[in-house]
Amino acid sequence: MVIADTPAPCASSDGASRPSSSPAACAQEGQSSFRARLTREAEADLERLFDSVLGAGFTTPRTSPFTCRKAADSPFLRELIIPFGRSGYIALFEIESATDVVALAVRHQIEDDCH
């Protein structure tokens, strides 16, 4: 899995891109954008984290979604607070039908865009 698929060439002093000779050389030249990839082990770690946080905490939307707090003017857009450690996560979800809820976003409570 590639997190950010942005080419990471070093820029010369005149602003032209050129292939980097090494990551260290780019870092010395002020390069701050690298392509990030996950190993299979890291992907498995993220899946395990997702399952433990969302799997355990997402019971209420599956059983009684209308008990979660409203997230907007729509009665079908809801938020679930998932406690985790000293803070937690907020899962934004939509009630699509009488049988379906869809998780739209999951944010840590201390993120800037989390309300």
Q: Evaluate if residue 19 carries a pLDDT over 90.
A: no
Does this model's pTM top 0.75? My answer is: no
How many CB atoms sit inside 10 A of residue 9's CB?
13
Does residue 65 share a domain with residue 33?
Answer: no
Has residue 49 been placed in a domain? no
- The total number of structural domains that make up the chain: 2
pLDDT digits (tens, 9 = 90+) for 57-98: 678 888 899 999 999 899 999 998 888 788 888 889 999 999
Question: What DSSP assignment string belongs to 14-71?
Answer: TS-EE--S-HHHHHHTT-----EE--HHHHHHHHHHHIIIIIHHTHHHHH-GGGSEE-
Has residue 24 been placed in a domain? yes
CA distance 69 to 77: 9
Q: Domain range spanning residue 94?
A: 59-108
pLDDT confidence band for 3 (50 / 70 / 90): low
